[in-house]
Chains A and B, each alone.
Chain A
Amino acid sequence: MAYTRAVVQIGADSRNRRRVRAEERIVRGFLFVCALLGVVTTFAIVFILFTESLGFFEHVSVWEFLTGTVWTPTFANKAFGVLPLVTGTLLTSLIALALAGPVGLLTAVYLSEYASPRVRRVVKPTLEVLAGIPTVVYGYFALTFLTPLLQRFIPALEGFNALSAGLVMGIMILPTIASLSEDALYAVPNSLRYASLALGATRFQTVWGVVVPAAMSGVSAAFLLGVSRAVGETMIVAVAAGQQPNFTFNPLRAVETMTAYIVRITMGDTPHGSVEYRTIFAVGLLLFLMTLALNLASELVRRRYKGARV
């Protein structure tokens, strides 16, 4: 057996012991390097985004970039205002949250407070499957199913639009929000529920007056994380939201998100090193900072109230 072999090796002479010690050090060093690679990756991401963006900001002022409302880097008449991409991203993400927020929270409440084990056994795997579906599949669904369906009720809906991309993105982030919210509800101690019920409150009152408020930090963290995933999501919006940077909050129109723009430019034949090419790194930097802020906010909210609970 393996154990015996290890022991036999150790019992041997001092030369053997030196070899074992050397091996120990080498392995330890190798494993440390593996663990360090994550830190290196982060530094590489930040370094690349910053240095390439610097090249871009030599040509375009940060102010113009952040406040301009026209984004036409590939036209003859170039304009570098990123706001249309930002509003496109926010619009689709907020539509996603408007669907996944309430539905996710209600799913979580139902699963944790009401559902029988049999219902849970069906719903939990369903959510897991939804979470595992590749986003390009969701994009196909949005473009070929949801948009034609919605166009029957909303004739003004364009073929590419923020609405159906946002809604399908909501379905994509639903599992994240539902399962993280459920964890938060699950963590609320039963003593709170019993106390409320003992005071004569109904189950509905207990759930919405006691349990959900007690889990609010975890639920908010889940929402923030869901939005972060929606902001960083690429394929659904690249397929179904269109690739026109319109400065609009009208969900019926085509929009372009930051992620979709990055994909469009890298797939085209924009010459490497040009200002247009560098835009993708400036947009990438903005995207990185936005998702980082959302992730950190989610972590902070979660941690801040963790100790405060009963």
Chain B
Amino acid sequence: MIQVASTPQWRARERRREQLFQLVGALIVLFALTTLVVLLTKILLDGFARLNPEFFSSFPSRRAENAGILPALVGSAYLLLLTAAIAIPIGVGAAVYLEEFARRNWFTRLIEINITNLAGVPSVIYGLLGLQVFVRTLMMDRSLIAGACTMALLALPVIITAAREGLRTVPKSLRDGSLALGATQWQTVRYTVLPVAIPSILTGVILSLSRVVGETAPLLVIGAVVFISRLPDSPASPFTVLPVQIYNWTTRPQHAFQENAAAGIIVLLVLLLTMNALAIYLRNRYQKRLPI
């Protein structure tokens, strides 16, 4: 491939090729940026006009101009809280076990490989799992809690990985110091490792949970309904969430509903942005505090 022939023509050709690639590379890099700008502009243009107070306080309706996202917004918030309440303790617990307690043996390897593979399972499959286990076998029906359990399983691999990374930022010297004073493994984790690691664990966990907010397919499969006339008042209530509502509006043929979808997307993106900003804020605060 590499031929060295230092004739002037060769050098000129090489220089042209180099410049050409620089240009192509710059254009390609611009591609991602342009796509993002076009996508956001399109959505803002379509949906901004629909963002009035009634849109936030109304229930879905057969008439596009009366329809609102109140139940979807409330449903998303409840689902997020319930999912977090289930997934964070289990996920952080699993991470603590793998990082602080587990011996390096084949069984630990099995658990680790398994978590990696679970992260690659398509989300719609988690929907089938939730449908069969939570909705049917455990008879939770198409309820908020069934949705939260399904989403918790979906989020677990990512949360475990994020929490493990958070635990790894704690210097070994802290653990050694605590153990040398006679503390047990769990006391070391509880009083020394976790207090130091919690901000960075939280950062990772919030980022993982922001995926839950945008996830649609598993909830469609387990049966989040779109038309509900009451806000969910218990974990056993039927529910809908923002992405499901957006999907429903997008697939209607009438253009007016697509404006609703775009407005819903704006709300969803703002919500995700807030969560990410919160994660970044926590990370920055934590970085300042690091020298203990």
Interface on A for B, CB 8 Å cutoff? 2-3, 5-7, 9-11, 20-21, 23-24, 27-28, 30-32, 34-39, 41-42, 44-45, 48-49, 52, 103, 106-107, 109-111, 114-115, 119, 122-123, 126-127, 129-130, 132-137, 139-141, 143-145, 171, 174, 178, 196, 199-205, 208-210, 225, 228, 231-235, 238-239, 259, 262-263, 266-267, 272, 280-281, 284, 287-288, 291-292, 295, 299
Contact = CB atoms under 8 A, between A and B. Distances in A.
Interface stretch (B48-56, B64-72, B153-161, B231-239): B153-161
A280 B31 CA distance: 37
B124 A232 contact: yes
Contacts of B221: 262-263, 266
Given A38-B111, A204-B17, A115 B127 contact: no
B118 A38 contact: yes
B39 A141 contact: yes
Given A36-B111, A126-B36, A233-B122, A115 B129 contact: no
Interface of B: 1-2, 4, 6, 14, 17-18, 21-22, 24-26, 28-29, 31-33, 35-36, 38-39, 42-43, 46, 89-91, 93-94, 96-98, 101-102, 110-111, 114-118, 120-129, 131-133, 136, 153, 156-157, 160, 178, 181-188, 190-192, 195, 210-211, 213-217, 220-223, 243, 246-247, 250-251, 258, 261-262, 265, 268-269, 272, 276
Contacts of B188: 6
Nearest to A280: B128
A20 B185 CA distance: 11
A109 to B, nearest CB: 7
B191 A3 contact: yes
A35 B94 contact: yes
Contacts of A235: 216-217, 243, 247
7 contacts: A35-B94, A115-B25, A130-B35, A133-B214, A135-B217, A234-B216, A263-B124
A283 to B, nearest CB: 9
A38 B114 contact: yes
Nearest to B187: A6
A255 to B, nearest CB: 16
Closest 5 CB pairs of A and B: A232-B122, A134-B214, A34-B93, A110-B25, A31-B97
A202 B14 contact: yes
A20 B187 contact: yes
B129 A139 contact: no
